Structure 1
């Protein structure tokens, strides 16, 4: 069956042993071929490492391409979306551990916003149901801030829960009602029919203002608000801001407002067009929307 056992080098013998290992004990095969078991297992280990060489190179390439901010699950999505390579998430994790690379850990968000004690407060219509069956069914909105030196930059954004796309955003040095109103004016220009839309926010003073409550019903939108002091009611929007800062701001040395605004604009464009999401059939938001509507 094995032919002349004395012919061939050790590598050839190891390959033959591997093929026959399903039917015979390893120890007897090694004795038969006059090789050590430790040598055989070392051969398997070396060959396994060589087998992963291309996979490790690709994982490292994707990791470095995105500035080392992503963990194994998101890298798995980039491997499929950018390179057409589907790799088991456990394998991606193992290769990252072998390479000694890891993601940047997102900072824990503290629920420290101040609710308004004046103005109008609406009921919580969303009730933490962050799924939507079609565009313009459910939007979430909020404001976040980013410090540059001694100044603050404020970002107001709106996310469509159908595909998690940021459909409108505005930035300002002032955190006021006009920042929010400008964001919605931008959204109305892009979305023609929003009748029946639920727009969910926290109870910040901008969202309890009379101007805000006058603007939304005029286009047929319904206002929904988180319970007072409960940031989990708007967790989807909080999650986006966390990703924005961890992936698009904190890794960079940003020294002025222009630089911060540019990074935010670049990240939102990347998030909408290039960043695949597991909940969106492993597609970026805009690609998912085009595929579902086509």
Structure 2
């Protein structure tokens, strides 16, 4: 078995400098008395990967797997970590804005800009690209492939429509290419539709306070047996306003309402306190808004002897009677009369007059062509 030779750090660095200067391997080995060209390749590999510390390790010394390099001092360790983080920041500053897949032309441009301040292998590692892939791309940089021509045509089509179309519409216009190919090209270059922003689910557990006792059963045998409540926006005045209302499922009557400038707990408590005396077992249904899940509101509901019911998050259909009323109110007043900007006093007057009209005059087919109050009085 041959004797292992230990080379000083200075020799290793000199060999690396000579190779970076394009000095042939054979000449480097002869000049520095290096026995095996494999060692020289290994040193170059460490240098390109930013593992300069490995040049200081003793012969045959292998770092424990998972523990990383050993440093002479804590200062040296912090300096190495700081250098690594700076390199990452520098790379991602330049690569920011491209799609999910790294584009060869962008990689070549980045490496050319950064190769004077950090090794090529380190840049490729930050980008998640193999060093051999980079050299292959650079070698064929002047050759325009059919794939690049196709991608450019897809890009021109996206720009032509000002990024209003998603990959399905673009693929319908760009015939002869499958939908997935168009999708990959658009993701690669960041050409996706920019009209509708993706809605992301909020993390964490929902504020579960009460079960859904109503379960979309909007039938009632007597008044005030089942109530539904919600808040809607009134963006028609000088400032944003809100309407909190409570509807009786039995006849669709609005039994309580409040108009305010702030949707806080006091706002919904004011609506709740307008309710008349309620029969035993009355159910009040709402969504899981913060005002309805608040301690003060839940306490007030229990004090009135009401059983609380709540929808799951993201299911407005569970509260459809009150949602429909709010939609009807806006459609038959502000939208019908083309009122999109007026005074706050005018908004309050329109809403209050409509609720009076809705309860007393406006007939509903499901109530045998009677108004809510007429239906309730006849039922009594």
Local SS of the residue matching 1:233: helix
Q: Summarize deviations over 1:104-124 as a string: whole Å, max 9, x none.
A: xxxxxxxxxx99967552100
Aligned to 2:288: 203
| Residue 356 (structure 2) pairs with residue 249 (structure 1) | no
Q: CA, structure 1 residues 194+115, in 2 after alignment: closer, same or farther (shift >3 Å)?
A: farther
Larger relative contact order (Cα-Cα within 8 Å, sequence gap ≥ 6): 1
Counterpart among 109, 127, 133 of residue 221 in structure 2: 133
Distance 1:225 1:236 in 2: 14
Query: Cα offset for 1:251?
Result: 2.4
Shift of 1:235: 0.7
**Partner SS, residue 148 of structure 1:** coil
Q: What residue ranges of structure 1 are gaps of 5+ in the alignment?
A: 1-113
Matched, 1:124 2:212: yes
Q: How does 1:1-294 map to 2 (within 5 A)?
A: 121-148=209-236, 151-187=239-275, 191-252=276-337, 253=339, 254-293=341-380
CA distance 1:195–1:173, shift in 2 (3 Å): same
Q: How big is the alpha-carbon RMSD for the aligned residues of Structure 1 and Structure 2?
A: 2.3
For the Cα contact (< 8 Å) 2:362–2:370, is it kept in 1?
A: yes
**Given the two structures, how large is their TM-score scaled by the length of structure 2?**
0.45
State the TM-score, normalized to the length of structure 1.
0.58
Counterpart in 1 of 2:9? none
The CA distance in 2 between the partners of 1:172 and 1:115, in whole Å, is: 31
Contact 1:115–1:203, Cα closer than 8 Å, also in 2 = no
Matched residues in 2 for 1:115 and 1:200: separation? 25
Structure 2 unpaired stretches of 5+: 1-201
- Structure 1 runs (4+) deviating above 4 angstroms are 114-120
Q: Return the alpha-carbon distance in structure 2 between the equivalents of residues 255 and 136 of structure 1.
A: 35
Query: Secondary structure of the equivalent of 1:180?
Result: helix
Contact 2:265-2:291 at 8 Å conserved across structures:
yes
